[in-house]
Amino acid sequence: MKLYLFLALLLITSSCGHPSYEAGEKVEADILEVVDGDTIKVDMEKGGRETIRLLLVDAPETIHPDKPVQPYGAEASAFAKEYLPENKNVTIEIDTSIRDDYDRFLAYIWVDGEMFNEKVIEKGLARVAYIIEPNTRYVDRLQQTEEKAREENRGIWSEEGYVTDEGFNPDAVQSGSCESPDIKGNHSSSGDYIYHTPDSPYYEATEAEEMFCSEEEAEKAGFRPVRQ
């Protein structure tokens, strides 16, 4: 009987998917990788590895499979990498519902008492978006921060017509981007952020995770040149 109960318990435990969380719960985590300005990979104290999608935040794209690198996307990624270095301890705060349709963990990230969701908006590197009930705990606060960034023409707000209700319109930006970026950015297996120019020895074999218009843009986003 004891063996049966043990096996039954083991089966129940192994069949469970994600751990359960409560609305408003805060969980400690360590940063694993910054994917882009609004998506972060972490190792959570409860639940293990998760891909966090910042709630109420939309940063310009850098690695979208169907879109080119958008203006200020590299800057948003670089800011996130600086603010959230690898192994940095952070606090993940849950709002109400936890996952999106892509199984990403929806949350706010707190760093040394400051909300990263708010910081990237404050810098003018993201807009308030995806306001979907019931995950709206900080929407008023973030909208106030966004309004200040807009009034001061920071980042994305310095380009008239770039920010729209549907996202970002790269055609409105006259500088700071190019039609055909040809410098490939790649995250190596060792965790390095490396860029390859067309004359780099491994350029053709490199799978681009981000694309840049210039070496300066790549380095600003936290990438280094490949070692020859």
The secondary structure of 166-194 as a DSSP string is TEE-GGG--SS--SS--EEEEE-TTS-EE
pLDDT at 211: 82
pLDDT reported for residue 136? 97
For the segment 199-208, the average pLDDT, to the nearest whole number, is: 88
pLDDT, tens digit (0-9, with 9 covering 90-100), for 96-131: 999 998 889 999 999 999 999 999 999 999 999 999
**In contact, 218 and 208? CB cutoff 8 Å:** no
Strand partners, 92: 27, 109
Residue 228, CA distances (Å) to 15, 58, 200, 201 in order = 48, 36, 8, 7
The backbone torsions φ and ψ at residue 166, rounded to the nearest 5 degrees and listed phi first, read -95, -5
Mean local confidence (pLDDT), 82-97: 96
Q: Which residue has the higher pLDDT, 38 or 6?
A: 38
Euclidean distance between the first and final Cα of the chain, in Å? 65
Say if residues 196 and 202 touch (Cβ distance below 8 Å): yes
The band of 9, judged by pLDDT with boundaries at 50, 70 and 90, is very low
Span 136-152, pLDDT tens digits: 999 999 999 999 999 99
Task: Clarify whether 154 is annotated catalytic.
Answer: no
**C-beta of residue 95 within 8 angstroms of C-beta of residue 107:** yes
pLDDT at 222: 77
Instruction: Determine the Cα–Cα distance for residues 59 and 121; give it in Å rounded to an integer.
Output: 9
The pLDDT of residue 223 is 83
Q: Is 216 noted as a catalytic residue in this protein? A: no
The mean pLDDT of the chain is: 87
How does pLDDT run across 10-65, given as a tens digit for each residue? 333 333 467 789 999 999 999 999 999 999 999 999 889 999 999 999 999 988 77
CA distances from 183 to 10, 128, 152, 179, 187 (A): 50, 30, 32, 12, 14
Q: Is 99 a catalytic residue?
A: no
| Mean pLDDT within 196-215 | 88
Band the pLDDT of 177: cuts 50, 70, 90: low
Fold topology of 26-159: OB fold (Dihydrolipoamide Acetyltransferase, E2P) (2.40.50)
> Domain residues of the chain, as ranges?
26-159, 183-225
Q: What is the pLDDT of residue 174?
A: 58
User: Where does the pLDDT of residue 86 fall: very low under 50, low under 70, confident under 90, or very high at 90 and above?
Assistant: very high
How are beta strands 39-44 and 57-58 bridged, if at all? unpaired
Instruction: Determine which one of 61, 75, 93, 146 is catalytic.
Output: 61
pLDDT at residue 140 in the model: 98
Active site residue: 25, 33, 104, 209, which one? 104
> Which two structure tokens, joined as six digits, stand for 51?
């891909």
